[in-house]
Amino acid sequence: MNFDSLLTNPWILVLALIFGFVFLVFGADGLVNGASGLAKRFGVSNLVIGMTVVAFGTSMPEFVVNMFSVAEGSTDLALTNILGSNIINIFIILGLTAIVYPISSTKQTRDFDIPLTIIAGFIVFVFVAITLPFEQERGLSRLGGIILLLIFVIFMAHNVKYAKQGTAEQQDFQPMKIWKALLYIFFGLVGLVVGGEMIVKSAVKMAQDLGVSDAIIGLTIVALGTSLPELATSVIAAFKHNCDLALGNVIGSVSFNVFFVLGASAVIIPLPAYIGIELDSIMATSGAALVWLFIKTNKERQLKRWHGLVFLLIYAAYLTYRLMSL
């Protein structure tokens, strides 16, 4: 589907971006529901479904946008979609959730997930901020992508082991009729493909029309749009005072985005550094470090309401600086 001819009108451009996110979110939800129902129909355990179908499905928005970005050659958008999503996940989503209701942490999250997220950010920073001896330019090379994917395998293996010990919550997935599940999967895939193409094309055109880089659009509009599922889920859970797993889910999403989505993107095409990427990667890394510090310095091992306010203020300062430096 070619949207290029329709994106000359600014109103159509905005509508294309909005509907792209709608298609993307509902497409991911349909794919997860259909695949989960189909897997359960064939006797797959809740554990395996949760660790595969659901885990991959919740990162589908970022993954699809990145695949279209690398296909279009918009490597800046591919990088900023992930860095921006991770920054928003920590500073905005955890910030808002903590303000609504304090977020509890589990030992698994404190001792493994958050430190791994910090390591993920550091690895990305090293590749994008330093020209390594075996690389020709700064950025995430195919080698860097392979390293991230290898760590992703370790990350998944650890989570499977943790879940099998019975210390991780498992959802109760219900079987679905085969025809219904296939219908969900089909329309889910259509939604993801159509939504991904609409977002990438409209975001690139918007950047050109506004005279800003793909990186800025990726860090803000696209990153926020692909983080909508996590935002809605976490805030709703907070209002229900049921956000003890919100931290683990958000941190898990951050790790998944870096190790799997960014790793796979770099393997397909090297992602060169863009102007300002050092600050963006530092923000993503320091956000995870700040989460760990806040949790470790109170006896309840929680993110308090004032922690959430600090996150929002830091993000406001960061975004203001990035926009003023254009």
pLDDT digit string, tens, across residues 71-119:
888 888 888 889 998 999 999 989 998 998 898 887 878 888 899 889 8
What average pLDDT does this structure show over 295-305? 91
181 SS3 class: helix
**DSSP class per residue in 99-134:** HHSPEE--HHIIIIIHHHHHHHHHHHHHHHHS--TT
If one compares 285 and 131, the residue with the highest pLDDT of the two is 285
pLDDT band at 315, cuts 50/70/90?
very high
Q: What is the pLDDT of residue 47?
A: 56
- Residue 285, pLDDT > 90, answer yes
Q: What is the pLDDT of residue 245?
A: 61
pLDDT band at 170, cuts 50/70/90?
low
- Residue 131, pLDDT > 90, answer no
Q: What is the pLDDT of residue 171?
A: 58
Say if CB 27 and CB 189 are below 8 A apart.
yes
- Residue 304, pLDDT > 60, answer yes
Locate 276 and state its tokens.
Answer: 């300002």
Euclidean distance between CA atoms 192 and 194, whole angstroms: 6
Say if CB 80 and CB 281 are below 8 A apart.
no
If one compares 94 and 55, the residue with the highest pLDDT of the two is 94
- Could you tell me the residue ranges of all domains in the chain? 4-324
What average pLDDT does this structure show over 9-19? 81
- Residue 137, pLDDT > 80, answer no
Q: What is the pLDDT of residue 263?
A: 93
**DSSP class per residue in 38-50:** HHHHTT--HHHHI
* CA angle (316 as vertex; 79, 265 as ends), nearest 5: 10
Percent of all residues in the chain with a pLDDT value above 90, rounded to a whole number: 22
Q: What is the pLDDT of residue 181?
A: 87
- Residue 4, pLDDT > 90, answer no
What average pLDDT does this structure show over 30-40? 83
> What DSSP state is assigned to residue 170?
-
Euclidean distance between CA atoms 72 and 187, whole angstroms: 24
CATH of 4-324, one of 1.25.40.10, 1.20.1420.30, 3.40.50.300, 3.40.190.10: 1.20.1420.30
Q: What is the pLDDT of residue 52?
A: 61
Cα-Cα-Cα-Cα torsion 133, 134, 140, 144, nearest 10 degrees, comes to -120
Percent of all residues in the chain with a pLDDT value above 70, rounded to a whole number: 85
Q: What is the pLDDT of residue 250?
A: 82
pLDDT band at 295, cuts 50/70/90?
very high
pTM value is 0.82
